[in-house]
Amino acid sequence: MISLQIIIQLIISLLLALGISIYVLRIVVHAVNRLGLFDKPNGRSSAVTPIPTLGGIAIFFSFVFVATIGLYGFDFPEWPYIMVALMLIFFVGLKDDIVTLSPLKKIIAQIIAGFIIVFLAKIRFTNLHGLLGITEIGLIPGIIATIFTMIVIINAFNLMDGIDGLASGLCILISLIFGSWFLTSGHFEYAIISFSLVGAVAGFFYLNVYGKEFKIFMGDTGSLLLGTIVSILVIRFNEFNIDQTQPYAVSSAPIISFGILSYPLIDTIRVMAIRIVNHKSPFSADRNHLHHRLLALGYSHIRATYTIIGANLIFIVLVFYMHAFGVLRLTAFIIVVGSSLFMVPAFILRKKKLIKTDDPYQQLLIPGYPDEMKKRKPMGLIVKRNRRKSKLQPLTKVPFLQKFNLW
């Protein structure tokens, strides 16, 4: 049973983290402006002017401080090791924001953090809940599944941090969902972690989206940190649902987790697949994310952010409602419906002829795009041009690779 004391403690944790986050962010903005540490517009960012970065510093400090206080008195031996892993990711992200690290170095750091979580914090997958017909798994498969999941989620948050409020807004939504489940199911330690994260990120969200004088980006310091914490919540959510006799247990927990993180995971898989098919590095910067397509449709940053968060929320409600449908049906629903929704902006861009002629990534949505684009081979894709036909040919006549880019 949920006591009033726990609820009050969660509310205090959230508000305290929120207040500390906003206070520290103001200090960070002044320091960053003096040091000239700005996020300059690039192939992935949608910013048009340099903006102070390193907002992840405030998120890290407020979250760790409040969560540590909130966990006082609980039997929670894994927390010190979780903090060690978070500190590693924090400093790697901080260095990347200041001097830039290669994707390989960041992946190595994520693997090391994964081993800390697995072997010291004793947090890993032990059961796949019937996914691919597999239930209990041994130590080695569990380690591989845990570290792979952490890497995917961490990089999903890192890659989707391209417009104001998107990564932080989705993190707030995801943490609220997990935190509410942890609270109702009696896992109060992870509820405190979740709600402390909500408060810490909410402070950043406010200044990132609505701030003028104190507007700031979270940088890799923040996005890598958020991905690490959310990945831990995902693993514990799956492990706590192994015993289906427990109150509020949900079946098909791995697929429910996928549904909760539907936007970041599907978008990351989609853009990486498109890059690989077109002979690009999966970590190369481009403007092929869903939020970039929404911006091309004329959406503002905040409208695109709230549209994606709203769609993700609807998806979460649906997967929880359908959790008893079974792993295969739920997986098929998420893949088919989720992937189809991602194609809608591309179809609208083509139908309304809003594709920019100076954007090589949007050019891939046009059947038979101009000869000069073929000579540049921006994505390694060569499409035969039919001069006698309109650029907007029926989709059925578009080669396979261009159908793939519509996704």
Q: Which residues of the chain have pLDDT under 70?
A: 1, 37-50, 353-407
Nearest Cα residue to 236 out of 272, 185, 307:
185
Q: Which residue has the tokens 């994964």?
A: 114
Burial class (CB in 10 A: 0-12, 13-18, 19+), 397: exposed
DSSP code, position 289? S
Task: Report which secondary-structure segment, H or E, holds 9.
Answer: helix 4-35
Which conformational region is residue 378 in: left (phi greater than 0), alpha (psi within -120 to 50 degrees), or beta? alpha
Task: Report which secondary-structure segment, H or E, holds 48.
Answer: none
Q: With pLDDT > 90 as the criterion, what percentage of the chain qualifies? A: 51
The full DSSP string for 204-268 is HHHHHHH-STT----HHHHHHHHHHHHHHHHHHHHHHTS-TTSTT--SSHHHHHHHHTHHHHHHH
Q: Which residue has the tokens 């952490």?
A: 150
The encoded tokens of residue 395 equal 């989709």
pTM given for the model: 0.86
User: Which pLDDT score is estimated for 152?
Assistant: 96
Measure the CA angle with vertex 317, ends 312 and 319; round to 5°.
90
Collapsing DSSP to helix, strand or coil, 128 comes out as strand
Collapsing DSSP to helix, strand or coil, 389 comes out as coil
The encoded tokens of residue 133 equal 């017909």
CB atoms within 10 A of CB 51: 20
**Cα end-to-end span (Å), the chain:** 46
DSSP code, position 242? S
Which conformational region is residue 384 in: left (phi greater than 0), alpha (psi within -120 to 50 degrees), or beta? beta
The encoded tokens of residue 186 equal 């009696």
Size of the chain in residues: 407
User: Which pLDDT score is estimated for 48?
Assistant: 57
Q: Is 114:147 a contact under the CB 8 Å cutoff?
A: yes
Interval 258-317: pLDDT, tens: 999 999 999 988 888 888 887 788 877 777 788 888 888 888 999 999 999 999 999 999
